[in-house]
Structure 1
Amino acid sequence: MIDDATIAVAGSTILFAGTAADFVAESDDDILVLTPGQIIVPGLIDLHCHGAFGVDFSTTNAHDARIALRKLHALGTTSIVASLVTASPDELAGQLTLLAELVDEGLLAGLHLEGPFLARARCGAQDPRCLSEPDSGVTQRLIDSARGHLTTMTYAPELPGSDYLLELLTSHGVVPSLGHTACSTTEASASLQSAQDGLLTSPHGRGRSRPTVTHLFNAMDPLHHRAPGALAACLRAAKAGNAVVELIADNTHLHPDLVVMMFDLVGAGNIALVTDSMAASGLTDGQYRLGPAHVTVNEGVARLATSGAIAGGTASMLELVRNSVQAGVSLDDAVTAAAAVPSDIIGSSSRAGRLQADRAADLLILDDSLETVRVMRHGHWLDRPPKGSISHDQTGATT
């Protein structure tokens, strides 16, 4: 935190970030002076986002996706990795191809596959009919469909063929993300180590050096003193700096006290705050879709209409930061987990996540309540998004 600071921007790049005494303004500079209590933080980065504003990335068209992404950007999530739920290989390949275009356009920062190689016992809101054991042919097809933009892929390490899956993913610079698993501590520990080794030695690692853990605590066995399961291995790996754990700090997926405990235990540099948001994010309670599943949102909590299982989140990244700070996490740590760490997972293609010279001019001006005042993305100030969904028919919400 710097109390008397200046940030200078030219085009889409930060030229200077530091103390005001070290910066000399030019006479023709356009200068914005913050009011007392306002602060500047990096634009936030969401590694796990299934959609928002009535749009489900697993089923959307490109036009609606562009509108939803621009709305998310204007809320302060200036970099987004679009997540796809489990579906058939044909459906996944087609949607990856569609969304890869939006990465090329600069609207998305990457793509994430949550499946299809997940444990049936911990499938959560994923469609169990489409789950399968790792298949090299399917995996290669999905990687090719993403055209170099597949950032992460969630997998269950206990499934046969997962070792080869890790080799294939890391050889293409794709970050393996352990999750939706019922594996043992030993299996999880060995798999995380293999994933890290593969990333470190991959010629296409793109600067990505650590595996991640998909929404820690959710869709995995709870910690038990005689059967610690994957959780124990994930926490040890994160504490050692060998893995990054995702936390959905929306006060629904995780208790606020547990979020604080995770920051204390493994450190902000090993945590990525993620929304796991679905189509209802940014909208009101109602009926929505997550892939093929029907979802009911009540008081902001999304659940499958059939089983009642939690089906993604509805909070924004800035809400996660506020929740973490209100729970007792320092603002510096919360922003680190919401911007700097996710930027590292995206890899060398990401210039966002830090207020430093030569980085992307993505930043948020917040008031003393951590509410958004203004958002800059790629050097341009963004207008606040209008309320409403993209499609009345898809969500049942008023447009």
Structure 2
Amino acid sequence: MTAVALAGRLVTTAGIVDDGVLEVRDDGTLGYVGAASGWSGPAPEPVDTVAPGYVDIHCHGGGGHTVTSGDPADVAAVAAHHLARGTTTMLASLVSAPAAELVAAISAIAVVTGSGSPVVGCHVEGPFLDPAHRGAHDPAHLRLPGSDELEAWLAAGVDDAGRPTVRMVTLAPELPGAAAAAELLERSGVVVGLGHTGADAGGFGEALRALRRPLVTHLFNGMEPLHHRRPGPVAASLDALADGATYVELITDGVHLADETVHLVFAVDPGRHVVLVSDAMVAAGMPDGDFELGSMRVRVADGRAWTRTEPPSLAGGTSHAADLVRRCVVHAGVDPVAAVAAATSTPAALLGLDDRGSLSTGLRADLVLLDRDWRVQRVMRGGDWVR
């Protein structure tokens, strides 16, 4: 039975349907999706543009709250902040911290996961990172990977289907024990992202090829830049991307990457393996000021977050998934269908979430309504309007 019917421009994985109709059924799933000429139901509500709800696999906080506190209320507040801005699915992302704090934070995220929240699990970024490419991670909390700590993470939260709350871990592949850690994580269904790394091109490429679902964490950031004689992990990543052999995260907020760089990466990708991520921290959606990212002090000025260290380092983002898509389309000249896929169907596929991520019959009715300038006007999650 039809609960809502919308008429407008539909951004599907196959292309844009300019004169389309989308049906939301009363069970919270999508019914008819297609040309208006094929719709025979009740008169639809006219809207501008409909896209799937955004999926952000790398989000540390927002709206003055952080997921790192160990308090489920903070995790829920972060999720609500991003949901109101179009992110209908997210991984709550942690930063390097003492072992006991990480377990407590994972346990808090587990409380929220599966409770109807946009949070579907946890991404642990660190503490198994290269100190020279640590970015905004506290060097005091970096360490080598060990099976006991990984097992503690996996046991800190498990859903009804037996999946661990930890759905993704970022580590530097050149560290002693990293290969064994990646193997252990993949046996538990965890996505392994490679990043914050000092690896050379050969070593990084080899590490990517060893993974079942290879992912590069925020490509270009937290690694050596591309050099024509020292290609490093950037060249290895682009080479694998061109072969459709890895996923790559991009923070397309206009701060972490130049628009021309973003356009280049999309041009290299032949099969939609780019994943847009906000890397948002507590200051997302907040005025400029002083904040914290884990144990690191951060100052935000003109919307840019920097550690209060010498030299300073970028300390996550202050944007939301919707801002990333808009930046790609309006400023970087990325094809709108490819940009939307990078924030919806591609990250959903990476996480194995086959019930969402595209405007397809039978999938969850997770939607964002956009204006012609790609700004979010309304948000639906599971068939219910939340904005």
Using the alignment, how far apart are the partners of 1:299 and 1:246 within structure 2? Answer: 24
Using the alignment, how far apart are the partners of 1:17 and 1:39 within structure 2? Answer: 13
Aligned match of 1:297 in 296, 300, 314? 300
1:364 aligns with 2:368: yes
Any unmatched runs of 5+ in structure 2?
A: 1-15, 159-163
Aligned match of 1:128 in 130, 139, 149? 139
TM-score normalised by the chain length of structure 2: 0.91
Aligned match of 2:343 in 330, 338, 346? 338
> Which residue does 1:109 correspond to in 2?
120
**Contact kept in structure 2, 1:239 and 1:266, CA below 8 Å:** yes
Query: Cα offset for 1:272?
Result: 0.3
Using the alignment, how far apart are the partners of 2:270 and 2:67 within structure 1? Answer: 31
Measured against aligned partners, the alpha-carbon deviations of 1:19-59 in whole angstroms (never above 9, x if no partner) come to 2233321xxx5x54224xx1100001101000000111111
**Contact kept in structure 1, 2:70 and 2:106, CA below 8 Å:** no
Aligned match of 2:254 in 241, 251, 254? 251
**Alignment of structure 1 residues 11-90 onto 2, 5 Å:** 11-25=27-41, 31-35=43-47, 38-59=48-69, 61-90=71-100
* Identical positions, percent: 37
Higher strand share: 2
Structure 1 stretch displaced more, 319-328 or 3-12: 3-12
Higher helix share: 1
Aligned match of 1:172 in 163, 188, 191? 188
Measured against aligned partners, the alpha-carbon deviations of 1:145-181 in whole angstroms (never above 9, x if no partner) come to 1321211110111101111111101100101100000
Using the alignment, how far apart are the partners of 1:298 and 1:179 within structure 2? Answer: 26
Structure 1 stretch displaced more, 230-239 or 311-320: 230-239
Measured against aligned partners, the alpha-carbon deviations of 1:224-269 in whole angstroms (never above 9, x if no partner) come to 1221111111111111111111000011000011101111112460
> Which residue does 1:263 correspond to in 2?
266
Any unmatched runs of 5+ in structure 1?
A: 197-209, 384-399
Using the alignment, how far apart are the partners of 2:271 and 2:167 within structure 1? Answer: 21
Detail structure 1 runs of 4+ shifted over 6 Å in the superposition. none
> Which residue does 1:99 correspond to in 2?
109
Structure 1 residues 302 and 235 mapped into 2: Cα distance closer, same or farther (>3 Å)? Answer: same
**Contact kept in structure 1, 2:70 and 2:101, CA below 8 Å:** no
Structure 1 residues 178 and 277 mapped into 2: Cα distance closer, same or farther (>3 Å)? Answer: same
> Which residue does 2:21 correspond to in 1?
6
Using the alignment, how far apart are the partners of 2:307 and 2:104 within structure 1? Answer: 25
> Which residue does 2:13 correspond to in 1?
none
Using the alignment, how far apart are the partners of 1:302 and 1:221 within structure 2? Answer: 20
Alignment partner of 1:66: what SS? helix
**Contact kept in structure 2, 1:39 and 1:368, CA below 8 Å:** yes
Structure 1 stretch displaced more, 137-146 or 271-280: 137-146
**Contact kept in structure 1, 2:67 and 2:74, CA below 8 Å:** no
TM-score normalised by the chain length of structure 1: 0.88
Using the alignment, how far apart are the partners of 1:290 and 1:167 within structure 2? Answer: 29
**Contact kept in structure 2, 1:268 and 1:336, CA below 8 Å:** no
Using the alignment, how far apart are the partners of 2:367 and 2:190 within structure 1? Answer: 27
**Contact kept in structure 2, 1:166 and 1:194, CA below 8 Å:** no
> Which residue does 1:221 correspond to in 2?
224
CA RMSD in angstroms comes to 1.3
